[in-house]
Amino acid sequence: MSDLRALYQSLIMDHGKNPRNKRPMDEHGEGCRCSEGYNPLCGDKLKLYAKTDGDKLEDLSFDGEGCAIFTASSSMLTEVLKGRSIEEIREVANSYLKMLTEEDVKLDPEGLGKLAVFGGVKEFPARVKCATLPWRALEAILEAVDEGRETPDQPVITE
């Protein structure tokens, strides 16, 4: 087994069994937004919570149930992005989603850090939806922030 594959399995299993930042947040607090998501193929259900001061994500958490890849992706998203500027978050999110959804995108372990382990998910197209659901929910929150809305208009459904 390659070192990268072993790292991939280890990180996914760790975050899948022991998710970080898995807790509900007061959705009605100042600067707090919530986006819901659902993956009907796998049954993943998500509530992603983000508290922002306008320029920076002060807090980020999730609640929900799903497969190990979904849980690990949600956990790592919150761990890696909490405290970063909105602009940095957009860059990381765009790189992560491109890595999983576009052909011929090379892994950038330096730019994505430990998130690069999800590059292996691309080999399993049905699992890509599990790994991208929390990131699509984050996109919906960022869109709401841009438009001055408190919450996204509708849940994110990955089909």
Mean pLDDT of 51-71: 92
> What single DSSP character describes residue 117?
G
Q: Would you state the pLDDT for residue 129? A: 95
CB 13 within 8 A of CB 68: yes
Global pTM reads 0.91
Amino acid in position 108: D
In CATH, 3-21+31-147 is 1.10.10.10: no
Of the two residues 154 and 139, the one the predictor is more confident about is: 139
Pick the range with the lowest mean pLDDT from 8-22, 36-50, 57-71, 100-114: 100-114
In this structure, what token pair is assigned to residue 19?
Answer: 């998710």
**Helix (H, G, I), strand (E, B), or coil: what is residue 66?**
coil
Q: Would you state the pLDDT for residue 114? A: 87
Question: Which tens digits make up the pLDDT trace of 135-151?
Answer: 999 999 999 888 888 77
Question: Which tens digits make up the pLDDT trace of 28-52?
Answer: 677 789 999 999 999 999 999 999 8
Angstrom distances, CA of residue 6 to CA of 33, 44, 80, 139, 141: 36, 25, 21, 30, 33
CB 147 within 8 A of CB 153: no
Distance from C-alpha of 52 to C-alpha of 146, rounded to nearest angstrom:
12
Cα dihedral 91, 97, 100, 105 sign: negative
